Amino acid sequence: MTTDTPTADLTDDHAFAVWAAEQAGARLLEVRAQGLEGRELKNAGDAAAQELLARLLDEHRPEDNVLSEEARDDKSRLTASRVWIIDPLDGTREFSEPPRDDWAVHVALWQDGQLTAGAVAQPALGETFSTAAPRQVPARTSERPRIAVSRSRPPAFVESLAQQLGADLVPMGSAGVKVMSVVRDVADAYVHAGGQYEWDNAAPVAVARAAGLFCSRVDGSELVYNKDDVSLPDLIVCRPELADEIVAFVRSHGTD
């Protein structure tokens, strides 16, 4: 497979993140069209997207380090000033269930302690959300707040939070899709404490922050990336006006 000739200035990190995520997304759509099913489709998607992103990064950002869900963790990244944090296929289960569109590709750049660029492509939706052209979240269109949750295992504490806020739960797949649902005004918050890793939310958080959303750990503390331990188990992404009430609820009630 050959990649499309880029039309953007790939020396720009924001433009490169978008292009790379969209190239991987296009490759995943090709894999999905091959007639594979179940575990075979999941494995093929993971492998194809990882291979393509690794190749693009090696070609266009050869001096940078990479942290990926689908590759060995090279600890030299811990002393690097630039690290790309990628999830080649976020929402593998949803990807393996055509025609579901709630899966994504994550490409983020961490530089000198901060997330500086990011893109989340939702190929089956035909959209990419990024720091290259940040969306400004529109005024809320729903009467009641909406909280994005896992479609298979919504945590009990989020159900209690929804009661406190008078909110509705909106089930969907993929961590990145849940964060983008707040950017898209499909949901107003995503609150998670069931365990994630840096690649699950680095790109979504970069995009959400650029859109003006509140992002933190569930106790309100900062999200820190490029750590030795890549576990980042909990997350809040929400409209700024909901942040204080959500953080206060979690601090008071916990996540058990």
Q: How far apart are CA 160 and CA 114, in angstroms?
A: 33
Exposed (0-12), middle (13-18) or buried (19+): which is 175, by Cβ within 10 Å?
buried
| Rounded to 5°, angle at Cα 86 from 199 and 247 | 30
Query: What are 19's two structure tokens?
Result: 């292009």
Is residue 135 one of the residues assigned to a domain? no
The verdict on 155 and 58 lying in the same domain is no
The verdict on 174 and 212 lying in the same domain is yes
Is 57 annotated as a binding-site member? Answer: no
Which ranges of the chain have pLDDT less than 50? Answer: 1-2
Specify the CATH number for the domain of residue 101: 3.30.540.10
Which residues are paired to 190 by β-bridges? 148, 237
Is residue 171 one of the residues assigned to a domain? yes
Specify the CATH number for the domain of residue 155: 3.40.190.80
By residue range, what is the domain housing residue 91? 13-130
CA atoms within 13 A on the CB side of 167: 25
Is 200 annotated as a binding-site member? Answer: yes
Query: What are 35's two structure tokens?
Result: 């007639």
The verdict on 31 and 124 lying in the same domain is yes
The verdict on 157 and 113 lying in the same domain is no
Is residue 5 one of the residues assigned to a domain? no
Contacts of 151 (CB under 8 A, 6+ apart): 171, 172, 173
Cα→Cα distances 34→27, 29, 37, 40, 44, Å = 11, 9, 9, 11, 10
Is residue 49 one of the residues assigned to a domain? yes
pLDDT at residue 3, rounded to an integer = 62
Average pLDDT of the chain, as a whole number: 94
The verdict on 17 and 122 lying in the same domain is yes
What pLDDT digit, counting tens, does each position of 52-99 carry?
A: 999 999 999 999 999 999 999 999 999 999 999 999 999 999 999 999
The verdict on 82 and 158 lying in the same domain is no
The verdict on 87 and 154 lying in the same domain is no
pTM value is 0.94
Is 90 annotated as a binding-site member? Answer: yes
Is residue 183 one of the residues assigned to a domain? yes
Is residue 243 one of the residues assigned to a domain? yes
Is 234 annotated as a binding-site member? Answer: no
Contacts of 2 (CB under 8 A, 6+ apart): none
Domain count across the chain: 2
Pairing state between β 168-172 and 127-130: unpaired
pLDDT at residue 2, rounded to an integer = 44
Is residue 139 one of the residues assigned to a domain? no
The verdict on 19 and 76 lying in the same domain is yes
Is residue 155 one of the residues assigned to a domain? yes
Which residues are paired to 235 by β-bridges? 192
pLDDT at residue 69, rounded to an integer = 95
Q: How far apart are CA 25 and CA 31, in angstroms?
A: 10
What pLDDT digit, counting tens, does each position of 219-235 carry?
A: 999 999 999 999 999 99
